Amino acid sequence: MQFIQLKNIHYRYPDQYKSILNGIDLVIAEQEKIALIGKNGCGKTTLIRIILGDLQASQGSISYPVHQPVISYLPQDTKVSASLAVEDFLLRVAPAKYEVISRLRHLEHKQELSEAEGLALATLWHEYHSLDLASWEADVNSVMLEMDLMELKQRLCASLSGGESTRLQLAALLLEKPDILILDEPTNHLDLEQIRWLEDWLNAYAGAVLYVSHDKSFIDNTASKIAELADGKLEVRMGNYESFTRDQTQLKEHQLVQYRQRQNLLRNLREAAQKRRSWASSFQPETRSEGGGAVYESIFNAARTQMQQARNVEKRIAMLNERYAVERPSFEKPRKLDFGQVQQSRKELLNISGLCFSYGGSPVFSDFYLNLGSGERIWLSGANGSGKTTLLKLIAGELAPDAGSISFANRIRIGYYRQDLTELDPRLMVRAYLLSSGREEGQIRTLMGCIGLKDSLIEERIGKLSWGERAKLQLLMLLMGEYNLLLLDEPTNHLDLKSREMLGKALHDYNGSLIFVSHDRAFIGQVSTREVNVDRD
């Protein structure tokens, strides 16, 4: 059953001369899991806002073949900060029902009631039964059980981890009983165990799901259809990302063969038309008096015939170009990142011995040991909250250990990528921030193109950039720093698929050493040479 159909959707922002969406067609049907992919800034969020009704398309139509569906949306990078318990947060999805339940609980917990309060309690019980709030509480308990939240029901929402917060928000969406779930980067800030849980949950979910993700493994494990947005056009294919890229490559290669064949045909036709036109044009009417009437007529008729043939060939060329055009397939120009050759010691770069560290009296590390050799690329694994980011901050010198030692080799230069992007001052101009690296502006602009940042962004304030653009900006500073030890905390968050693959290749070729945190399995497999599990160590 089809829930929603988008036909010939166009959209142009008022302050832009070029449309960001051009002729988008998309059908979302029951039980489909559609992965919406594309570069940062290509228009994915704009398309979602049009589906949600937040934006009105400049052209095109949205139809609902059966009925207008209920659509629930989980935006990117939102964390529940409400000072409510998990159970209360879910009950409040229906505010009127929650108000009755909340007041009822308040009066029931009183040891003594006044006459007015007793009457109020009786009224509330009447409302409780008439509104069938027992069923509502049962629905909430059922969803908490499904989303593995029962043990957290009394926990304050503000104290939840990123993965727990994501599960809570999904539970709240399910209580709205949506026909379509729209999820924007749902795997951000989830650890591997939580990502696998989300994969299993999505595969078992009976409704339709449209989600934005740049996690290749997650898409391969969950998507039934891929929708790639590029240059304002949407290409939709059945299957996962691996099959999509394989089919897309084969299709473009086939289109390129067809395009070359067409160009050869057009070139031959143009040559044939030119030869006929040239021969016909070379005929001189003045030869009539010299050559005699019969000869003139035979030559004249042949010239006229050749000229007509030339026109016919030219008409065929025009028809092929207008009605049966074969366009040259577009191949994305390959971009390459290069961290350059850095000075590297042959000895041990880093040694952590007997490290102890606590947060607020709670131990995070106790007698922790780690060594890093030259050229090693260590992946720090472990559940959210196990101390991976804390360890990077200790190595970077942003935190001091309670006990133990952290020693480095001589001439070590450390570059640190923070997952929260707090290094970036939103008030600062991009040009000023990048020039602080000491590089020339011309070189900076070249590197911006390599990493996929538009040249015009150099005139913007950092606060106006998208999250993906900010992530690339921080990576660009690392690229220009000539560091021989990189500390990367979730470097693939906010990056599109192509940028993740490009970064993975650059780090694989990097001759320096690396300690990184990531939950992108494709990226981990591409970069890591050794795993250190913080939970175990």
**What's the CATH code of the domain at 238?**
3.40.50.300
In a domain, 400, yes or no: yes
**pLDDT attached to residue 174:** 87
**pLDDT attached to residue 291:** 47
**pLDDT attached to residue 193:** 83
* Alpha-carbon span 244 to 249, nearest angstrom: 9
* Alpha-carbon span 75 to 185, nearest angstrom: 8
Same domain, 160 and 253: no
Same domain, 257 and 352: no
CB 266 within 8 A of CB 317: yes
In a domain, 7, yes or no: no
CB 431 within 8 A of CB 459: yes
Per run of 10 residues, the mean pLDDT along the chain (length 537 residues) is: 88 85 92 90 89 91 87 80 86 91 87 84 90 92 88 86 80 89 85 86 89 91 92 88 80 85 90 86 56 50 81 89 81 73 77 90 88 92 85 92 91 88 87 89 87 87 86 89 90 86 90 91 93 77
**pLDDT attached to residue 343:** 74
Render the burial of 166-185: b for 16+ CB within 10 Å, e for the rest. bbbbbbbbbbeebbbbbbbb
Same domain, 76 and 137: yes
Describe the crossing of helices 467-479 and 441-451 by its angle, rounded to 10 degrees.
130
Maximum CA pair distance of the chain?
A: 131
Same domain, 100 and 203: yes
* Alpha-carbon span 510 to 2, nearest angstrom: 48
In a domain, 357, yes or no: yes
Burial class (CB in 10 A: 0-12, 13-18, 19+), 401: middle
| Residue 412 CB neighbour total at 10 angstroms | 16
CB 215 within 8 A of CB 194: no
Same domain, 298 and 155: no
Same domain, 379 and 513: yes
Same domain, 420 and 516: yes
Helix residue ranges, H only, 333-485: 388-396, 430-435, 441-451, 467-479
Structural domain that includes position 367? 348-428+477-533
In a domain, 19, yes or no: no
CB 510 within 8 A of CB 467: no
Q: How far apart are the first and last CA of the chain?
A: 51
Chain segment 378-398, per-residue pLDDT in tens: 999 988 778 898 999 999 999
Nearest-5° Cα angle at 9, 500 to 498? 10
Same domain, 363 and 214: no
**Sequence-ordered list of residues with C-beta below 8 angstroms from that of 191, at least 6 positions apart, any chain:** 163, 382, 383, 384, 519
How many folded domains does the chain comprise? Answer: 3
Same domain, 105 and 171: yes
In a domain, 23, yes or no: no
Helix residue ranges, H only, 364-403: 388-396
Please identify, among 189, 214, 246, the residue that sits at the C-terminal boundary of a domain. Answer: 246
Same domain, 262 and 393: no
Same domain, 238 and 255: no
Please identify, among 201, 225, 246, the residue that sits at the C-terminal boundary of a domain. Answer: 246
Helix residue ranges, H only, 323-429: 388-396
Same domain, 217 and 275: no
Q: Is the four-CA dihedral 209, 215, 218, 220 of positive or negative sign?
A: positive
Beta bridge partner(s), residue 380: 517, 532
**Sequence-ordered list of residues with C-beta below 8 angstroms from that of 25, at least 6 positions apart, any chain:** 6, 7, 8, 9, 234, 236
**pLDDT attached to residue 138:** 93
* Alpha-carbon span 95 to 88, nearest angstrom: 10
In a domain, 443, yes or no: no
In a domain, 434, yes or no: no
Please identify, among 220, 246, 272, the residue that sits at the C-terminal boundary of a domain. Answer: 246
